[in-house]
Structure 1
Amino acid sequence: MKTITLPNLPGHPHVAYNGPTLQIEQVTASSVAEAFGTPTYVYSRTAIEEAAQRYSQAAAASPVHVALRYAVKANSTLAVLQLLARLGWGFDIVSGGELKRVLAAGGDAAKVVFSGVGKTAEEMRLALDVGVECFNVESPSELAALDRVAQAAGKVARVALRVNPDVDAGTHPYISTGLKTNKFGISQDQATRLALQTAQMGHVKLVGIASHIGSQITTVEPYLDALDKVLDLVEDIERRGAKIEHIDLGGGLGIRYTDETPPTPQQWLQPLLARMVSRGFGHRTVMIEPGRSIVGNAGVLLTRTLFLKSTPAKHFAVVDAGMNDLIRPALYAAEQMVVPAERREGNALKYDLVGPVCESADWLARDRALVLEEGDLLAVLSSGAYGMVMASNYNSRGRPAEVMVEGASTTLIRPRETVEQLYASERLLP
């Protein structure tokens, strides 16, 4: 873990210190914790909207038509989806539940792409009924099932084949999706045959080719490698008589958690679209599906220090947020910056920040130099993506509250979950 000097909070333009006090926009972290308790997720509305606008501006400056589809799995809270729907964004979903969330937040079904390897017949019917834009199909079996469901519904499903370009994006293996050993997508060889088979099916229409190679990618080169393979495939398919309306480049652009230097949306898109133009594909619609880079650095997780504990080997800060609230460190060994809400003077100790969950994997950060006392409030930065959306009720713990900050105002967008809510639908035996 590299040392990061405070108060510089790289990648967090709306999270900063005003004197010794941490603020999200114009609201102090301490005032949020006092009003709503901890652990609590706090999002900057301005940060979300500015991140989305950077993509919109990059798309508007392009000679190629770019369709913006937010990846709902990054953060599916209704208020977040509502903000993006109001900005005119469409959505990339991976379940029927995410589709219902998008609709509840005011999203347009006609701008929804349905991805995912395991769509059920019920989910397919729901998506057909509301009129989604496209299904990203990931296997021959799924294509056959979708054709049957669409036939029974008296509809024609628009489909894109998600291909697996076998490109190593250099990310953690759990978030790599573009290798031939991953469960995602259709092999290049199989895709051509499957594309031609769609012409023989009565209730699916091939409209696109899609690719998604992973998440938290911080260089453009893997995208260019994947794009060349996708364009080779499109050329092959069209030589054989099929027509492709759009090319889906996926998402996965990374953010700065500690010392990463990912490209901006403009720096990411420009070379990809230039490659398309140079290869004669400038007249096609390009679809992109960013998620983490929209919301990741717009959110923090506030947590309170319960106890300080020292052993001959370690100093521990036991906090009230656990792996059920933020699983990224336990799942991916992910590193996120942790900063105090009120800076203290004194000699720092290196702490492991651990939670109350009964697992050794329950840690939020390791070996962080902090000046701490029991009761101190901490903020885990870069928690807007894959934070609350992956939270669970392990150990019968209610999920955190969520708050949206805009300027000097705060809005509770999801109350803290109570234990009574956790078992309200359960039944005792007679």
Structure 2
Amino acid sequence: MSFPRQLTSVQSISLSELCQQYGTPLYVYDGEIIRRQVARLQEAFSGLDMHIKYACKANTNLAIMRLLRSLGVGVDVVSMGELHMAAQAGYGPGEITFTPSGVPFEEVKEAVEAGAVVNVDSLALLEWFGETYGSEKPCLIRLKPNVAAGGNIKIMTGHRDSKFGISVDLLDKILEIVERYSLKIIGLHQHTGSDIKEASAFLQASEVIFEAARHFPDLQIIDLGGGFKVAYKPDDEVTDMAHLGAEISKGFQKFCQSYGRNLQLWFEPGKFLVSESGYLLVQATVVKEDPARTFVHVDSGLNHLIRPMMYGSYHHILNVSNPEGNPSTYNVVGYICETDTFATDRTMPEVRPGDLLAFLNAGAYGFTMSSNYNARFRPAEVLIDQEKAALIRRRETMDDLLRSQLDLA
């Protein structure tokens, strides 16, 4: 990502005018960036039968999902809610993969009956799947490769202590259950985590999966998950997709040759596809001078973008209204009655009350992790694609907050 020094428009659409029309805070997504990210991944693995499954937990707006589907991207869901959203966005059953994490077996049954292919993540679920379906329904098995990789322990999923997947150390038990029920295992899956910039982590995990795959004669798919790193700061290191593609392709082709036939290679990126496309636009409400530091209060908070408080994540912030202002250092904070900090000791052009600020990298795990904490409304969302802006979610109202409550007075 090339970080702009200023950001006043997206695809020639004025951000200030969008905020005047729809108010702030406002989520805005750039469809061209999503198209670019899909193309980057496709180009990196152009020599393989590679399939992209969008991990839609990153952003479940139907317009975003429809755009990705139009680009030939499948979808990976982790709940029945996401599955129904995927269907609403036009995905057919054969395009949906269901990757649960310790959910009730009835939910898995509902997903299977809806036509999704399931990634089995525990021995207990594998046993149930065998008892329920035998060889009638295909499934994938999610293995835990016991590889620690990623930028934050909270989003690492392939290490030994992770709750996700079945440890490769239990391969004998997996094979015993598969044989007992004549299970139709069509793929092996793993996901090591997020923000992985080195090819070595993917290669290490893939070697574990390739070795395990030799025990399953009828595979069609090897699924290496996602976790490619995107840029959060200027000059931030990112995953070298060309190098990663070349290295994994070489190892995958070697595996397929020894396996005896060519398989499909799947990836399940979420953040990589949509993070850089998103901007959260907020308005500065109060600039508070304090002996310790200067605070910029904005009309949003952790209820709209929880990642800085939850993960300590960095979001670059641009002053849309005053990009040429003299640099000053601020703490940018939200309006929630809670410690609610977006940025600490952040230097940016002078911020004045009323200025429009843009938080970058807000396309993934922004709106989807938002809440109504403090009885605040969630923002509207706008998609800009092919130089046209469309409202894809209206701002919430008090009626939305009260709709599911029952008044016993």
* Correspondence for 1:7: none
1:185 equivalent in alignment to 2:180: no
Q: Comparing 115-124 with 88-97, which one deviates more in the overlay?
A: 115-124
* Correspondence for 1:26: 12
Q: CA deviation at 1:200?
A: 1.8
1:161 equivalent in alignment to 2:141: yes
Q: Aligned AA for 2:245?
A: L
**Matched residues in 2 for 1:243 and 1:209: separation?**
11
User: What is the 5 A alignment of 1:273-284?
Assistant: 273-279=249-255, 280-281=258-259, 283-284=262-263
CA distance change for structure 1 residues 401 and 199 in 2, over 3 Å: closer, same or farther? same
Q: 1:220 aligns with which of 199, 212, 226?
A: 199
Q: 2:372 aligns with which of 380, 393, 408?
A: 393
Q: CA deviation at 1:409?
A: 2.2
**Identity across the alignment (%):** 33
* Correspondence for 1:324: 303
CA distance change for structure 1 residues 135 and 11 in 2, over 3 Å: closer, same or farther? farther
**Any conservation in 2 of the 1:16–1:24 contact (CA below 8 Å)?**
no
**Any conservation in 1 of the 2:130–2:177 contact (CA below 8 Å)?**
no
Q: 1:253 aligns with which of 228, 239, 256?
A: 228
**Any conservation in 2 of the 1:218–1:260 contact (CA below 8 Å)?**
no
1:339 equivalent in alignment to 2:318: yes
1:131 equivalent in alignment to 2:115: yes
Q: Aligned AA for 2:248?
A: L
Cα deviation digits, residues 79-123 of structure 1 (max 9, x gap): 000011112211111111111010000012202111121232332
* Correspondence for 1:39: 25
**Matched residues in 2 for 1:184 and 1:254: separation?**
20
* Correspondence for 1:171: 151
**Matched residues in 2 for 1:286 and 1:73: separation?**
21
CA distance change for structure 1 residues 265 and 36 in 2, over 3 Å: closer, same or farther? same
Q: 2:341 aligns with which of 358, 363, 367?
A: 363
**Matched residues in 2 for 1:406 and 1:288: separation?**
25
**Matched residues in 1 for 2:355 and 2:262: separation?**
56
**Matched residues in 2 for 1:194 and 1:125: separation?**
20
1:243 equivalent in alignment to 2:223: no
Cα deviation digits, residues 135-158 of structure 1 (max 9, x gap): 11111111123344547xxx8332
Residue-pair matches, total: 404
TM score, norm. by length of structure 1: 0.89
Secondary structure, in 3 states, of the residue corresponding to 1:212? coil
TM score, norm. by length of structure 2: 0.94
**Matched residues in 2 for 1:344 and 1:234: separation?**
54
Secondary structure, in 3 states, of the residue corresponding to 2:205? helix
Secondary structure, in 3 states, of the residue corresponding to 1:214? coil
Q: CA deviation at 1:125?
A: 2.6
**Matched residues in 1 for 2:353 and 2:132: separation?**
58
CA distance change for structure 1 residues 119 and 260 in 2, over 3 Å: closer, same or farther? same
1:292 equivalent in alignment to 2:271: yes
Q: CA deviation at 1:264?
A: 4.4
Structure 1: gaps of 5 or more residues: 1-9
Q: Aligned AA for 2:20?
A: E
Q: Aligned AA for 1:31?
A: E
RMSD: 1.9
1:140 equivalent in alignment to 2:123: yes
Q: Aligned AA for 2:31?
A: R
**Matched residues in 2 for 1:147 and 1:76: separation?**
31
**Matched residues in 2 for 1:269 and 1:313: separation?**
48
* Correspondence for 2:64: 80
Structure 2: gaps of 5 or more residues: none
